[in-house]
Chains A and B, each alone.
Chain A
Amino acid sequence: MNELSVRIPVPPPRGEVAAHRYAFAAAACGGLATAVRGVDVVMRASGALWIAGERALVVADLHLEKGSSYAARGQMLPPYDTRETLRRLAAEVAALAPKVVVLLGDTFHDRRAEGRLAADDAERLRALAVGRTLVWVVGNHDADGPQALPGETADDLALAGLILRHEPRAGVQPGELAGHLHPAAKVRAPRGTIRRRCFVTDGERAILPAFGAYAGGLNVRDPAFAGMFVRPPLAGALGPTNVRAIGWRRLAED
């Protein structure tokens, strides 16, 4: 931990007494340490979430084989998105040595994506399950789960008192970790505008950024995020080596 360690006093949500004030601190790895429903987590610059207490690494929305999905329709995007995504995931695994790796849904871009995997990419995926538990939480793009690849398949998963699922449920969901929405933060300044993938959390729940190389982003100011948070949430915007905590007021619409 370094100099950046602050507690933000936030007004309690209307009609309720604030159970938590949310806290964040820069972690040594460049990530941002915070807590979701009292469970310590680190938002990593890669876009992965690290639950240290369980040694669990959570990544959402890999959208593997999105490139070939477009190619099948005649748009020849570079066929390297799967290996790029898996390369980054392997680097996180190497850095943290997790006991559990959770793929939080939409791991494949479509139902036929697994069949289009290049042999070496499939091998990279298999390697993830060696010596640790690999959990495929299924999402809307890959509802069937993997066909030939190792790992457990689940609709949702309880871990360390948190509930992990692909699509965030509407309304207040204390302790939920989800993906699906591909949150992105936009910040305007006199010198320019910047738009980055981000985590978004109010201390009660968290939504993870998409991890896939070709996954797009949805602005956190989009109505799709409305009604999910008990207080104005905090965005953890991904940079090349660190995660920046951005307050709600600085987040701009597209």
Chain B
Amino acid sequence: MADASGLPSDLLPPAFQAWFARRGWSARAHQLEMVEKARQGRDALLIAPTGGGKTLAGFLPSLIELSQRPPANTPRGLHTIYISPLKALAVDVERNLGAPILEMGLPIVAESRTGDTGLSRRQRQRVKPPDILLTTPEQLALLCAWEGARGFFEDLSCVILDEIHTLHASKRGDLLALDLARLQALAPRMRRVGLSATVDDPEIIKTWMASHRGADSISSPPRSERERVGRGRLGDVGGDPARRGGASPHPPAGEAVGAALSLPSPSPASPGGEEAHGPRSIDLVRGPPGAEPIVDVLLSEGRVPWSGHTAQHAMAEVYEVIRRSRIALVFVNTRFQAEFAFQELWRLNEDALPIALHHGSLAAEQRRKVEAAMARGELRAVVCTSTLDLGIDWGDVDLVIQLASPKGASRMVQRIGRANHRLDEPSRALFVPANRFEMLECQAAREAIAENRLDGDPPRAGALDVLAQHVMGCAVSEPFDMIELYEEVRSAGPYRDLSWEDFEQVVDFVSTGGYALKTYDRFRRIVRLPDGRWKVRDLNVAQRHRLNVGAIVSPAMLSVRIASRRGQGGRKVGEVEEGMLEMLDPGDTFVFAGQVWELVGVTNLDVLVRPANHRDPKMPSWGGSKFALSTYLARRVRQLMFDEAHWTVLPDDVREWLEVQKERSLIVGEDEMLLETFPRGKRNFMVVYPFEGRLAHTTLAMLLTKRLERRGIGPLGFVCNDYAMAIWALNPMDRVDFDELFAEDMLGDDLEDWLHESFMMKRAFKGCAIIAGLIEKRFPGEQQKTGRQITFSTDLIYDVLRRHEPDHLLLRCARADAATGLIDVTRLSDMLARIKGRIRHAPLDHLSPFSVPILLEIGKERSPGQAGEMILAEAEADLIAEAVQ
């Protein structure tokens, strides 16, 4: 095993070398490098494509260490904990680890622990932990909030984080980073190991997973702060008004960021002083690049339709491709598209190929069945959504089909990686664009993938609602010292810039709700001990916290059940989001779980259905696409459009479309934005093409509509898709000063006014309130009062809080969430800066070729925003109509 990598040849013990040899393998360089890093006690991030033996590389050091342990008389603690974003993956890895352990006869116990793990096994695991525990971020949070956490984790020497690229830029990632910091505090020797698919910027992930403890101790609370805390600021009713004024003793957050120098802590009372470990950098280990994927674009008879999202036109050819493949995964972007494609494929399925369906609304049991059939190699194709982006290894998949827009290069690489988990053979993928803009997008994505240029998630600052949940978890586990916990939290990547003020507010929130009106002091959920530390008030509060741990908040889900003859709920078919139901009335038919159903009615939490014979169901219009076009891919699409020489790669009709656009209107530069105005019928249209995704466009349209109203233009409506936005109005818009109309100041008061009334803000608030523990998903022992379901909506809390304490922590959280996720203000703001002074106006007499797809979408939209009053007004009109009949 002497090799070019310069690694010592004795990295693998003889038993392991023999095991590799028996299998006809030799350890790969990156696997050995991971063993080497472990020997040196280094934290490491391994970046390798699928099929590169990544998981084994992560576990190899632990297996070696465990195999070399001397025998012990006393029971030993946990050695390695493995965290996967998916339950199924944790279970699968448990199975895969079994092989080397069994074949080498290693004295190692590896067990999974997920929400599905039985109670007795979970209890046993606590008393007698396995050597290796395979679990999810949510289960880890639960273990950390257990009174026995310290003893359970103190022997831990390694944590392995799998598929880290899917986790880091989310609230789940925030929670996991905090729990990592906790584990490190309990087990200072612990090494961190990250496993990730190829990413564009590994630094972002390294920063996320590193321990930043001691990185910039200058911003730890100064002595005066400690004394104030020592006196118990949280114990003071009303607090100190001067401090609320915001005279912060700290340098502004951010100044100290990235300080490479580790200054010694100025205070001898420094938390964790005995364990002083400076900031730890993460070593990067790269696996070999996989074979380049082969990506084709399917052109149905050489043509691409004007509009649409379903790719119905190409379905016969898609079926043909499936027929010629071994096993195909057919990815779509929404559940509606999944149902639709599944129906279409079965309509064409003359060979009765076993084609299955998999998406998040189907009952878990049904999804497991599909996965099991897949693992047994019994299926030829699965139509699926992002539910199968990640998951267990199916060696036989040889083709990935992407129906409709890919939306992002990284997402596509992830999906394409699901085909052919062998490193030396290329994965095969086929893109099927559903319309002309999507054709451009497919081409851009294909080129990005070929150049290995990916669009990663930007780093995020840790959310304060998640921090609140974590602080409660810490208090439930054992008493904490505020300053020590602050240092610990700041050692987590996403929270490294957390200010003392924000932390203090979060602790205050956890204790009493953090209200300016201090009337809840006697109800504190965490209380101060004589030694100044904080602990949970009682067992009841602790138990309730444990019931509500987790950072995934899903919209209200209703169970779809087959109605019995007496109109009661029978077998469960799946779950749907409450919103989907709003478009259906009893008697309407819809497609779900691959069948046509008739809606019988809705009871409390059940949607009752019966099978329908219709061949043409009334389709639920489940929105367009769930994912916004990535910023990176959007830029590539703009580049492609601007670069005429590049058009030759496009199919004829798309190229002609671009050429006619150039002749009749304009093709603008990469950094410019095209704006067209034209009359059509009795209306005047304005169409822009920012390519920033539906969410950002919708926000833009809302704000522009307000501005146009003030200018007396009389806007009547708007429509948005991922590429463009159209507004129509009574009056012509040719003479509007567009630079002024699109000025960045629209993100000021106009946005605030609109946002606060919008349902998106209320939805964001609900999510934050659940995560932070203000309201609870589950109460222990509380039962539904018989038959009476009084709905106590978080909207009521939102309205009251907004009026009486608009700067409350949770409103800040909700605003931040709405701005990044639900309305994409960040992206809109970047765009407004980009196009400033670069709007190219084309006043036209007639609609342009580019505007056709977006105009075709008019009337298919529904705008949930201000519909409430309209709906009531219409219902009232009904009553009046009834009266005058």
Chain A interfacial positions (CB closer than 8 Å to B):
4, 6-9, 68, 71-72, 74-81, 83-84, 116, 118, 182, 184, 187-196, 213-219, 222-224, 234, 237, 239-240, 244-247, 249-250, 253-254
A214 to B794, CA, bound (A): 9
Contact A247 B878 (CB under 8 A): yes
CB of B186 to closest CB in A, whole Å:
26
Per-position 1/0 for B787-804, Cβ under 8 A of A: 111111100110111011
CB neighbours (8 Å) of B793 from chain A are 216
The answer to whether residues A254 and B604 also contact, given A71-B523, A77-B513 and a CB cut-off of 8 A, is: yes
A118 to B237, CA, bound (A): 14
Contact A194 B868 (CB under 8 A): yes
Instruction: List CB contacts (< 8 Å) of B348-366 with chain A.
Output: none
| Pick from A72, A219, A246, A254: contact of B523, CB under 8 Å | A72
A71 to B874, CA, bound (A): 40
Contact B513 A79 (CB under 8 A): yes
CB neighbours (8 Å) of B776 from chain A are 75
Contact B544 A74 (CB under 8 A): yes
Contact A187 B872 (CB under 8 A): yes
Contact B801 A218 (CB under 8 A): no
- Closest Cβ neighbor of A84 among chain B residues: B800
Contact A182 B871 (CB under 8 A): no
Contact A217 B791 (CB under 8 A): yes
Q: How many residues of chain B are within 8 Å of chain A by beta carbon?
A: 59
CB of A178 to closest CB in B, whole Å:
16
B601, B870, B879: residue with the most chain A Cβ atoms closer than 10 Å: B879
CB of A168 to closest CB in B, whole Å:
14
A81 to B792, CA, bound (A): 13
CB of B272 to closest CB in A, whole Å:
31
A184 to B872, CA, bound (A): 13
Per-position 1/0 for B871-885, Cβ under 8 A of A: 111111011101110
Per-position 1/0 for B511-545, Cβ under 8 A of A: 01111010110010100000000000100110010
Contact B541 A80 (CB under 8 A): no
CB neighbours (8 Å) of A80 from chain B are 515, 517, 800-801, 803-805
CB neighbours (8 Å) of A193 from chain B are 582, 871
B704 within 8 A of partner (CB):
no
A72 to B537, CA, bound (A): 12
Contact B878 A239 (CB under 8 A): no
A77 to B868, CA, bound (A): 26
| Pick from B800, B864, B878: contact of A191, CB under 8 Å | B864
A6 to B872, CA, bound (A): 17
Contact B523 A74 (CB under 8 A): yes
A77 to B523, CA, bound (A): 12
Contact B517 A74 (CB under 8 A): no
A68 to B805, CA, bound (A): 16
Query: What are 23 A-B contacts defined by CB distance under 8 Å?
Result: A74-B525, A75-B774, A75-B775, A76-B509, A76-B523, A77-B774, A78-B804, A79-B519, A188-B585, A191-B862, A191-B871, A192-B868, A194-B871, A214-B792, A222-B787, A222-B788, A237-B872, A244-B875, A246-B872, A247-B875, A247-B882, A250-B875, A254-B789
CB neighbours (8 Å) of A182 from chain B are 790
B869 within 8 A of partner (CB):
yes
CB of B290 to closest CB in A, whole Å:
46
B261 within 8 A of partner (CB):
no
| Pick from B774, B874, B879: contact of A189, CB under 8 Å | B874
A190 to B585, CA, bound (A): 9
Contact A250 B879 (CB under 8 A): yes
CB of B780 to closest CB in A, whole Å:
11
CB neighbours (8 Å) of B808 from chain A are 78
Contact B804 A83 (CB under 8 A): yes
| Pick from A6, A81, A187, A237: contact of B883, CB under 8 Å | A6
A118 to B544, CA, bound (A): 28
Contact A84 B804 (CB under 8 A): yes
Per-position 1/0 for B745-783, Cβ under 8 A of A: 000000000000000000000000000001110000000
B583 within 8 A of partner (CB):
yes
A184 to B796, CA, bound (A): 14
Contact B879 A245 (CB under 8 A): yes
| Pick from A74, A81, A184, A250: contact of B540, CB under 8 Å | A74
- Closest Cβ neighbor of A196 among chain B residues: B872
CB neighbours (8 Å) of A194 from chain B are 867-868, 871-872
| Pick from B583, B797, B863, B883: contact of A214, CB under 8 Å | B797
B660 within 8 A of partner (CB):
no
Instruction: List CB contacts (< 8 Å) of B592-637 with chain A.
Output: 601-604
Contact A187 B875 (CB under 8 A): yes
Contact A218 B519 (CB under 8 A): no
Given contacts A74-B537, A192-B862, 15 further A-B contacts (CB under 8 A): A7-B883, A68-B520, A71-B513, A71-B520, A189-B871, A193-B871, A194-B867, A194-B868, A213-B799, A218-B790, A218-B791, A223-B787, A237-B872, A240-B869, A254-B604
A74, A196, A250: residue with the most chain B Cβ atoms closer than 10 Å: A74
A187 to B791, CA, bound (A): 15
- Closest Cβ neighbor of B862 among chain A residues: A191
CB neighbours (8 Å) of B604 from chain A are 254
Contact A188 B582 (CB under 8 A): yes
CB of B332 to closest CB in A, whole Å:
24
The answer to whether residues A216 and B791 also contact, given A77-B797, A244-B872 and a CB cut-off of 8 A, is: yes
Contact B800 A81 (CB under 8 A): yes
CB of A208 to closest CB in B, whole Å:
15
- Closest Cβ neighbor of B803 among chain A residues: A84
CB neighbours (8 Å) of B514 from chain A are 76
CB of A220 to closest CB in B, whole Å:
13
CB neighbours (8 Å) of A188 from chain B are 582, 585
Contact A192 B801 (CB under 8 A): no
| Pick from A213, A239, A254: contact of B800, CB under 8 Å | A213
CB neighbours (8 Å) of B803 from chain A are 80, 84
| Pick from B540, B602, B796, B800: contact of A253, CB under 8 Å | B602
CB of A140 to closest CB in B, whole Å:
13
Q: Which 5 pairs between the two chains have the least Cβ-Cβ distance?
A: A76-B513, A216-B792, A80-B804, A216-B790, A247-B879
CB neighbours (8 Å) of B602 from chain A are 253-254
A79, A84, A195, A224: residue with the most chain B Cβ atoms closer than 10 Å: A79
- Closest Cβ neighbor of A116 among chain B residues: B519
CB neighbours (8 Å) of B873 from chain A are 244
CB of A221 to closest CB in B, whole Å:
11
A194 to B864, CA, bound (A): 10
A240 to B873, CA, bound (A): 13
Contact B541 A74 (CB under 8 A): yes
Contact B871 A192 (CB under 8 A): yes
Contact A239 B884 (CB under 8 A): no
CB neighbours (8 Å) of B867 from chain A are 189, 191-192, 194
Contact A190 B791 (CB under 8 A): no
CB of A133 to closest CB in B, whole Å:
29
Contact A8 B883 (CB under 8 A): yes
A36 to B868, CA, bound (A): 28
CB of B456 to closest CB in A, whole Å:
36
A192, A195, A196, A246: residue with the most chain B Cβ atoms closer than 10 Å: A192
A79 to B519, CA, bound (A): 7
CB neighbours (8 Å) of B789 from chain A are 218, 222, 254
CB of A62 to closest CB in B, whole Å:
14
CB of A114 to closest CB in B, whole Å:
14
Contact B862 A8 (CB under 8 A): no
- Closest Cβ neighbor of B861 among chain A residues: A191
CB neighbours (8 Å) of B520 from chain A are 68, 71, 76, 79
A215 to B552, CA, bound (A): 27
A186 to B808, CA, bound (A): 31
CB neighbours (8 Å) of A240 from chain B are 869
Contact A79 B876 (CB under 8 A): no
- Closest Cβ neighbor of A224 among chain B residues: B788
The answer to whether residues A214 and B800 also contact, given A76-B512, A79-B517, A191-B864 and a CB cut-off of 8 A, is: yes
A192 to B515, CA, bound (A): 34
CB of B324 to closest CB in A, whole Å:
42
Instruction: List CB contacts (< 8 Å) of B50-100 with chain A.
Output: none
CB of A116 to closest CB in B, whole Å:
8
